[in-house]
Amino acid sequence: MVHKAKLRRKAITLREQFYKYFEILPATTEDLLYEVYHLRYQVYCVETGFERKEACQTVNKYGKQIWLEMDKYDWRSRHYLVRHIRTGLFAATVRLVLPDHNDVEAPFPIEENCVLDYPVRDINIRRHLAEISRFAVSKEFKRRAGERGTLAGVNEKAEVYLSMNPDERRILPHLTLGLLAGILRMTRANNISYWYAVMEPPLLRLLRLFGVRFETIGPDVNYHGLRRPCIAALDTVLPNIRRVNHEAWELITDCGKYAG
């Protein structure tokens, strides 16, 4: 008689589920950077109208003109993409704006667009400070009412769905965690210890469900909708994620590979 334990299927982890349907890619080639900037154009200019099309650039790629949304911080940033494996579509992107090591006091986007009660002045900290920025999810991956017009594809109930098969739908809103996995890889590669961020309150609430907690450092700003300036220390964030949601920690850190 076969033991019942042998008949049980091994439970698939959140990390395994995510990588069954998605992959995260560093945008280290010209073609992938074009995908980053074009996805940002689709989200920031076409879908939400947050940025003007006239301020964007065009390039000729394989005989086709594509629009790119870029700004003055991209030269000092690193970028990641999340790609849906089955369709090949790029689902989401995020960047990490790094410190300018030639001028450590050079401002981050948050410092130019928000009134901060607690800006980071310490030069030694600024050398290891970066800003999570241009957090965007493709319209193809936010079909539900209330999600369109948001950058991260998160509505007020913190729900994100795909118009795809049920198994794919079940791993959402874990698309956000895939972006965080990319952020962490950029963070480790560039010796960063602190994150600035300006985020939609629904996104912050979603992140808290996974144990990702940011500290508010200024009043909300009405910039294409309500945004909140925040900061987080990596040596506080990661242990809290592990305590609150171990599966989320496994996905974000790749089972501890990028935990430090």
Residues 224-237 pLDDT 10s: 778 999 999 999 99
C-alpha 192/C-alpha 99 separation (Å) is 9
C-alpha 47/C-alpha 204 separation (Å) is 22
In this prediction the pTM is 0.86
**Cα angle for residues 150, 232, 36 (degrees, 5° grid):** 45
The fold of the 22-253 domain, in CATH, is Aminopeptidase (3.40.630)
pLDDT, averaged across the chain: 86
Is residue 117 within 8 Å of 218, Cβ to Cβ?
yes
Mean pLDDT of 42-71: 84
Confidence of residue 138 (pLDDT cuts 50, 70, 90): confident
Helix (H, G, I), strand (E, B) or coil at 173: coil
Confidence of residue 3 (pLDDT cuts 50, 70, 90): low
C-alpha 195/C-alpha 185 separation (Å) is 13
